Chains A and B, each alone.
Chain A
Amino acid sequence: MLHIVACIKQVPDTKIIKMNPKTNTMDRASAPAILNPYDAHAVEEAVRLKQRYGGTVSVLTMGPPPAVKAIRKCIEIGADEGYMISDRAFAGADTLATSYALTKALNKIAKERPIDLIICGKMTIDGDTGQVGPGIARRLDIPPLTSVKKIVEIDKEKGIAILHRKLEDGYEVVSSTMPCLFSVEKDINEVPYSTMPNMLRAARYNPHIWSVNDLEDVDKAQLGLKGSPTIVSSVWAPQKPQGGQMLDGKAADQVSQLLGIMLEKKELFQVKGESTS
């Protein structure tokens, strides 16, 4: 029986977030909070492994109280248990402080039920770093395996996992001792529509919520903004582009204008090292 923990995050949907052009800040109210899309694949993969090998899927998140919604979404996908660490002390954490807090929570979860495997999404769409997964693995001193696109086999008895890691032009087959941590690619699976029983369970589900004082052996100096080595010193709007020259007229005119421009710029087609003919 496996115990798999998926680490997840609730994020603003950056695709539709609006910016306040005057203050250069994000209007968070303009974007709905969603389960980080990459994390849905992490949870789905954990659920699939549970179906294959039996066991329990837990999800863990750090966030403000409304992040319970993201945990419920994971229950819909098929997770069994949800854990959330929520405290002002965690606020403003960068990736290093985040991996520290999550590791403390994982230690507490593992006390109740030892963990065989941790699965994270490739990255979050608000932070875009992909650094928290490997950070957790280093803190727990277990192998971090990033870019995982397929899990071939989990052999708990032998303590070996075999998986595919995506490369730029293919993949590599890797074996790792267990426990270990996977950061999974989006194409590892497709997240199906939730089943009705899962949806009903999710609607009523209340996760375990821990504050900083519920965690053991915590050095508070390593938490939140205080514990974050990186700071954002300034934000600015990306340079506004000047806008291009529009080609007017009927479609045929537009096309011939464009063709003319491109033929003029024939040197752009020049292959390196070849002289202009």
Chain B
Amino acid sequence: MSFEDYRGVWVFMEVKDGAIVPVAKELLGAGRQLADKRKTELAGVLIGDGVSALAEEAIYYGADQVYVYDAPIFKHYRTETYMRALLACTEKYKPEIILYGATSTGKDLASAVATDLPTGLTADTTQLDVEEDTGLLLASRPAFGGNIMATILCKKYRPQMATVRPKVVRALPRDASRIGTITRESIELREEDVRTKVLEIVRQTVQRVRIDEADIIVAGGKGLGSPAGFQLIHEFADVIGAAVGASRDVVEAGWIGHHHQVGQTGVTVTPKIYFAIGISGAIQHIVGMQNSGLIIAINKDPGALIFQSCHYGIVGDAFEIVPMLIEQFKHALGKESSYARKV
């Protein structure tokens, strides 16, 4: 394998409900920087059924080139079909780097592609950089429950691959004047040869506000004592129109579902306001919320680690403070109706 043959930075353009997922746009932003540093091309790989129209979007968000696999066989994500397309594309054009969003689809696809190529794959990256001259990808991620950060390299293989957490890098502003090349690709795949079939998709009512999209999050931890105590979090969140987050302890104790978990093994969130109530502030939680706009911590223990990672802290009993906050907010929001509407 001659490394000179491998050029260009690629991003897997995951599509959901007819739109490019936010993390793919973020990766075009990060990929743009890597490609510029390497003086090479940034490409998106778009796979799906009826997705061709999205190719221009990828260009508007920073891609120079988009490879499109648009066929009915790609209607639903399946490891086997998407992997075949991406492997074929990789073999044909030989990129030096491929980035995927660390979503369940991105991780599934990347794991399969890495094994077949084979190459190294770094999971859940939170920082990306590239060595200008060697093209070596510096993929950094929290390790061991967020206790340390580690930089992972793949020196002997190309392409180098990483899955990247949503919301850790920024998308470029959409620029509809950007110009790029769209290349249609295809592979021979017959439905009867594919070993998995998607029989049905069941959409379940999502929680009122998804935590990864919320502007305000009220998160609770073990300090609330019990599932009954945790109701206070729901109540407060309701009043200010926030999503409910939780620490790993609380999720593991079964007080609330997994999709509320914020942190290394949960969701990374970047709301404008993050309330951490009764959360001790274990590093694995901090890595999932530290980029929030305004972090407010309430905890009984003045030595709680969370106070090191907040903007404003209150040492006190949540059961005393939060009901007062609820009252005050009700009052403030009631007075200013325009404000309430926005919240």
Contact = CB atoms under 8 A, between A and B. Distances in A.
9 contacts: A125-B265, A131-B110, A145-B196, A146-B108, A168-B16, A171-B201, A171-B204, A172-B200, A244-B307
A135 B114 contact: yes
A96 B147 contact: no
Given A166-B104, A244-B312, A173 B151 contact: no
B311 A245 contact: yes
Given A238-B283, A255-B324, A255-B325, A26 B313 contact: no
A232 B313 contact: no
B339 A266 contact: yes
Interface stretch (B33-41, B64-72, B223-231, B290-298): B290-298
A254 B116 contact: no
Contact of A129 (B124, B200, B283, B324): B124
A226 B154 CA distance: 12
A175 B197 contact: yes
Contacts of B145: 14-15, 17, 125-126, 128
Interface in A177-200: 177, 180, 185-187
Contact of A258 (B108, B290, B315, B325): B325
Contact of A233 (B146, B147, B152, B342): B152
A65 B290 CA distance: 39
Interface string B239-274: 000000000100000000110000011000000110
Pick the most buried of B144, B294, B312, B314: most chain A CB atoms within 10 A of its CB.
Answer: B144
Interface string B176-211: 000000000000000000011111111110100000
A240 B313 contact: no
A167 B203 CA distance: 9
Contact of B118 (A19, A166, A229, A254): A229
Interface of A: 12, 14-15, 17, 19, 24, 26, 94-96, 99, 125-131, 133-135, 137-139, 143-147, 162, 166-177, 180, 185-187, 228-238, 240-247, 251-252, 254-256, 258-259, 261-263, 265-266, 268-271, 274, 277
Contacts of B264: 128
B79 A247 contact: no
Contacts of A126: 144-145
Contact of B123 (A129, A187, A234, A237): A129
Interface string B277-315: 000001110110010011111000000000111111111
B307 A246 contact: yes
A173 B198 contact: yes
A128 B147 contact: no
Contact of B296 (A242, A243, A258): A258
Contacts of B198: 172-174
A127 B107 CA distance: 14
B80 to A, nearest CB: 6
Please give me the 10 A-B residue pairs with the lowest Cβ-Cβ distance, nearest first.
Answer: A14-B145, A229-B120, A134-B111, A129-B123, A230-B120, A244-B310, A138-B115, A170-B204, A241-B309, A268-B272
Contact of A230 (B112, B154, B316): B154
B307 A269 contact: no
Given A19-B148, A138-B115, A269-B339, A169 B203 contact: yes
Chain A interface, DSSP helix/strand/loop, else mixed = mixed
B90 interface: no
A39 B317 CA distance: 37
Contact of B321 (A137, A228, A230, A254): A254
B151 A146 contact: no
A145 B121 CA distance: 19
B204 A235 contact: no
A126 B103 CA distance: 19
Contacts of B123: 95, 127-131
Nearest to B272: A268
B156 interface: yes
Given A19-B147, A134-B108, A176 B196 contact: yes
Nearest to A238: B149
A187 B258 contact: yes
B122 A230 contact: yes
A269 B203 contact: no
A130 B119 CA distance: 16
A178 B111 CA distance: 20
A245 B312 contact: yes
Contacts of B315: 246
Given A96-B120, A144-B108, A230-B152, A162 B147 contact: no
A237 B148 contact: yes
Interface in B49-101: 76, 79-80
B153 to A, nearest CB: 5
Contacts of A271: 215, 342
Nearest to B327: A255
A139 B112 CA distance: 9
B19 interface: no
Given A14-B284, A167-B104, A238 B114 contact: no
Given A244-B310, A255-B328, A173 B202 contact: yes
Contact of B308 (A229, A240, A252): A240
B328 A256 contact: yes
B263 to A, nearest CB: 11
A243 B152 CA distance: 29
B153 A233 contact: yes
A84 to B, nearest CB: 23
A183 to B, nearest CB: 9
A244 B203 contact: no
B313 A262 contact: no
B342 A134 contact: no
B149 to A, nearest CB: 5
